[in-house]
Amino acid sequence: MRAYEIAAAVVGMMTLGGSIRGAGAGKQADLVVYVTGVGLLSGTEDRMVRKTVSEIFERVGVQISWVNGKPQIGAVPGAPVVVHVRLVQQSMADHSAGALAYATPYAHGLKAITVLYDRVRMIAGSPDLQRQLLAHVLAHEIGHVLQGTDRHAPTGIMKACWNRVDVVAMGRNSLEFTSTDLELIREGLNRAKTYVGDRPPSTHD
């Protein structure tokens, strides 16, 4: 049985606020996800992956807004939590063996999630599984960012290593966050919202 490792290290809190709204929902987004490297995906794959990730988080009350491109330093991206997802093709030698993605701190309090797309593609084998695996890898890493920790859960989306049963559940959209994951996500979002609200006025552009 093959296991999929998802490595992540997340520290610090978000510092940005603003008014980008969640697509279609009419509510302010809790999370803005900037994406670069989408040229690696087909248009269909890109749309389906975003849809699946958005639905996973909508089920737990978290609204995501997606933006193509890199967050601009100095701009106000507009949500309590802002993430930059980088899809990269080349798995570098120093990446943890077997890891499909990892989250790291980024400039000015932003978080970056790097997805080793060639590994996802190689492991998945079929286009359907590739979309599902990529969506769940993103959901897992976004989970780390929202929780503000690199902890893992014994089951579900935040499990450290997925097995065949988990991958089958992904295909049915039935892999979920645990109740502890949900508590930590809510706590993390509340901390981020409070932090944004208490932020002193900017003294420079």
Contact positions vs Zn ion (CB under 5 A): 6, 8
Which CB, 16 or 133, lies closer to Zn ion?
Answer: 133
How far, in Å, CA of 20 to CA of 17, rounded? 9
Report in angstroms how near the CB of residue 138 gets to Zn ion at its nearest.
Answer: 12
Phi, psi of 163 (to 5 degrees): -110, -175
* 146 contacts 31 by C-beta, under 8 angstroms: yes
Report in angstroms how near the CB of residue 69 gets to Zn ion at its nearest.
Answer: 26
How far, in Å, CA of 80 to CA of 75, rounded? 14
Which CB, 8 or 41, lies closer to Zn ion?
Answer: 8
Report in angstroms how near the CB of residue 11 gets to Zn ion at its nearest.
Answer: 14
Which CB, 21 or 152, lies closer to Zn ion?
Answer: 152
Which CB, 82 or 103, lies closer to Zn ion?
Answer: 103
> What residues contact 123, with CB distance under 8 A and at least 6 apart?
2, 4, 100, 133
Report in angstroms how near the CB of residue 6 gets to Zn ion at its nearest.
Answer: 4
